[in-house]
Amino acid sequence: MTPEPGSAVPRTYWLEYAWLDPSAEPGVLLETGADGRVHAVRTEVPTPPPGAEVLRGLTLPGFANAHSHAFHRALRGRVQAGSGTFWTWRDVMYSVADRLDPQTYHALARAVYAEMALAGITVVGEFHYLHHGPGGTRYADPNAMGEALVEAAADAGIRLTLLDTAYLSAGFGEPPTHHQLRFSDGSAGAWAERASALRESPHTRIGAAIHSVRAVPADQFGPVVRWAAERGAPLHVHVSEQPAENEACHRAHGCTPARLLADHGVLGPRTTGVHHTHLTPADIDLIGSSSTGTCMCPTTERDLADGIGPARDLQRAGSPLSLGSDSHAVIDPLEEARALELNERLRTRIRGHWTTAALLHAASPAGYAALGWPDGGTLAPGALADFTTVALDTVRTAGTPPRLVAEAAVFAATAADVRHTVVAGRHVVRDGVHTTVPDPAAALREAIEALSG
């Protein structure tokens, strides 16, 4: 096993409670190695042994944020005022994208990824399409923007899957708008050539994405699919986020986006569709029968008035569920997990669609797998030593019976209750303080103010 850069020396952690799927166990001893992995897990250890690091609260596998657009964090608060639609929100998003360069992008992403670490997120999938300069001008390093994200994640101490995204069209063959020129490589072949220069590291995986059926012509899907297949890399795609996308796809191709993707070989076990909001029963069957994953982003989907996707039906059909914070209206994986269940309650007026164990599976191991880290998301020997501890003594969690601490975490705790985050056996957040980014709130403020126009 390759040692992780900056990983801790071998350590022993005593966990007051630990999530050992399918239950929370008291008094767990967890040993990590210099390789950044879990070496041993012992249960029924009622008191901390000498020299063990004590983590009070409930320790969970680190959360996987399977869908992120880091620069959208600059929109928080600005796009919540007034009314509008996804499409009016998009205009504001473009205005922020226009102002970013590799330096300002690094500063913003570093602060955003530090915020994620404070929320217990240990790996993020960055759906990255902001490739070039304004107007499409190429940087001397064609991957300068992507490398800024890689460096930002390393600085913030979390793992990254850079989902380098093909984005070629304003909509079903229309040329990119002025704002979109910096997203486009001109063709899928040119995209593949540029993306091939990106390099993985112990903390970084490189994946691929087709932005959407409206932003990549169907005859350009093939090079992206082949690129991902040759590397065994994850492939992600926005699918049916808006009814207007479905209607335009019908006009252009006479079918739904899911059908179009299936017909061109995009669906499959390494593929994750993001949102899957407005699907037909036949779409659900296509996605499920191909074992294509579904990444739900509940806080963004409700913030943008997108709708509630058929998550339960998709899972029953065979689609693994993961979670993302997408536009970062909030960054709180516990909120995303409970929203999956609570949204379904609103849709069906029935309670109890997912157990706590199922929601934690979506928040951690399923997200790790969707991002190309199948050995993460569990507290077990050999797994990546990525975990987070949620306090059980705050106003939100205090008073919970020991047998229900996991339910308290999922249905009542927030990101503010995260006390520790460990990645590759190394403390990234200790006692609620980030260990390498001194003041994430100040870093966020400064990075966002630098983009103000």
Residues acting as catalytic residues: 275, 326
Q: Positive or negative, the Cα torsion across 120, 124, 128, 130?
A: positive
**Helix, strand, coil percentages, rounded to 5, for the chain:** 40, 25, 40
Cα distance between residue 317 and residue 279, in whole Å: 13
What Cα–Cα distance (Å) separates residue 93 from each residue in 145, 149, 185?
A: 17, 18, 20
Q: Positive or negative, the Cα torsion across 36, 40, 41, 45?
A: negative
Q: Is 12 buried (19+), middle (13-18) or exposed (0-12) by CB count in 10 A?
A: middle
Residue found under tokens 């850079």: 162
Cα distance between residue 75 and residue 267, in whole Å: 32
CB neighbour burial string for 70-104, b if at least 16 within 10 angstroms, e if fewer: bbbbbbbeebeeeeeebeebeeebeebbeebebeb
3-state secondary structure of 314: helix
In the chain, DSSP finds a helix count (H) and a strand count (E) of: 15, 16
Query: Of 190, 201, 258, 261, which is closest to residue 227 (Cα–Cα)?
Result: 190
